[in-house]
Amino acid sequence: MPLVNLSGSKGRLVLSVLLFCAVIFELAHCQKDAQEQRTTPGRKPKPSHPKLGKSTNKGPRAVPAKPKIKATSARTFLTQVFNKGKFKKVGETISVQTGDTLELRCRGKPVQWSVPTYLEEDDDGRLRTVQHERYGLLTLVNTTGADTGEYSCYPMYCEDTDCRKEYDKAVKVFVFFPDPQELFVPSSEYYKVIQLRTNWPTLLPCQVTSPEAKVTLHREFPPAEVAVDGTEISFNVKRGFTIHRPRPYHAGPLYCVASLGNLRQSSTKYMLIYVNYPMAPPAPVIQASSGSVTVGGDLRVTCSAAGEQDVLVEFNWEYPGQQIGRPLNTQESITPVVGGAARQQSQSVLLVEEVRDVDQGTYTCTAHNLLGATSVSTTVAVVPKAKPKKP
């Protein structure tokens, strides 16, 4: 390769250009080496652009408001509190000696209590309920046989300040307070009148203070013990005697007798009065003797209702003649219905004699029994007499 002559001004210019290019190349090479040294071997450097979904603004972030959650109560149960901090979960019934203190703890916040009516009306300051952080506490001191009854705890369902009882989650216990002097829960009534309603169970509330007492049912006149077979009449130590399907022969004065050891006592006397109660309000049917009546003729409007035997049905009428003071003239009767269950037909017939123009219009019959009333109507037209033909 021939040598280039670099002497002279042109040669110096060429050398200067070559030297400048060499310096630029060297600087670029050094910068690249430095960048490779800062990068972890085997990994590519991460891009410097901001992450998606996150704001690069350093100000405070807005926190979304949490939805308001309705307060619900935890599972509720009752425990009895004894001395020295002992607790026992209660069953359906418990017994507490008269004079001792009854303490019941009910889990829940908040809870409400229900106690026997006697205590609700007048507890003489012996009853106290307190709501703690996680449970409610009921305390009854100086207990007596009259305190016997059902004690209930209702958990409360709350939304803000609005609370209501959760009846389906209530827990209950029947508490007996055995009294050596009183086998029956005391009552201020010597006689109590109770209606016996057809097909409606009737309760005779012979409540005893001790579950160990033996209780029997008696008739006062004539004196006799009433059979309790568990079907027609049954006994529950927490409630008393129940007559499931009352009949007329159950009526009369009855009372209960309790015995425990050498003690034997009688309860309040119950005067049972039998009342025939219907199964439903009456369903009357109305019918006129004719849809149109000639002036001067007679009209009969019949209203009838079928129902249970010995169940009273009363009838009331509204008719056009009332406007002019036409007196009500009715005939009423009751006849048995043949066949099937014991039923009867009650009937009322409205009689309108010598019909006039004012008797035209709507006739309404309303049938009443102990369960309600039902009305039915019919319309009657009055036509003038036909004029006699001329001979």
In the chain, what's the furthest Cα-to-Cα distance? 173
Q: Can you tell me the mean pLDDT for 366-372?
A: 94
Q: Can you tell me the mean pLDDT for 117-128?
A: 83
Q: Give the pLDDT band (50/70/90) at residue 1.
A: very low
Residue 25: the pLDDT is 53
Distance of CA 45 to the CA centre of its chain: 71
Q: Which residues contact 113 (CB under 8 A, 6 or more apart)?
A: 106, 129, 136, 138, 151, 152, 153, 154
Distance of CA 132 to the CA centre of its chain: 27
Q: Can you tell me the mean pLDDT for 219-247?
A: 93
* pLDDT of residue 288 exceeding 60: yes
Q: Give the pLDDT band (50/70/90) at residue 22.
A: low
Domains of the chain: 77-176 (2.60.40.10), 191-275 (2.60.40.10), 283-383 (2.60.40.10)
* pLDDT of residue 50 exceeding 70: no
* pLDDT of residue 296 exceeding 50: yes
Terminal alpha carbon distance of the chain: 169
The tokens for 248 are 């007329």
Across the chain, mean pLDDT equals 82
Residue 72 vs residues 76, 98, 157: alpha-carbon distances, Å: 11, 37, 6
Q: Give the pLDDT band (50/70/90) at residue 386.
A: confident
* pLDDT of residue 275 exceeding 70: yes
Q: Give the pLDDT band (50/70/90) at residue 12.
A: low
Residue 181 in 3-state DSSP?
Answer: coil
d(CA 37, CA 64): 45
Q: Can you tell me the mean pLDDT for 169-177?
A: 93
Q: What is the DSSP string of 78-118?
A: EEEE-GGG-EEE--SEEE--TTSPEEEEEESSSEEEE--HH
Residues 309-332 have pLDDT tens digits of: 888 999 999 999 998 899 999 999
**Burial class of residue 126, CB neighbours in 10 A (0-12, 13-18, 19+):** middle
282 against 35, higher pLDDT: 282
d(CA 337, CA 342): 7
Q: Give the pLDDT band (50/70/90) at residue 194.
A: very high
**Burial class of residue 127, CB neighbours in 10 A (0-12, 13-18, 19+):** middle
Residues 254-266 have pLDDT tens digits of: 999 999 999 999 9
Q: Give the pLDDT band (50/70/90) at residue 289.
A: very high
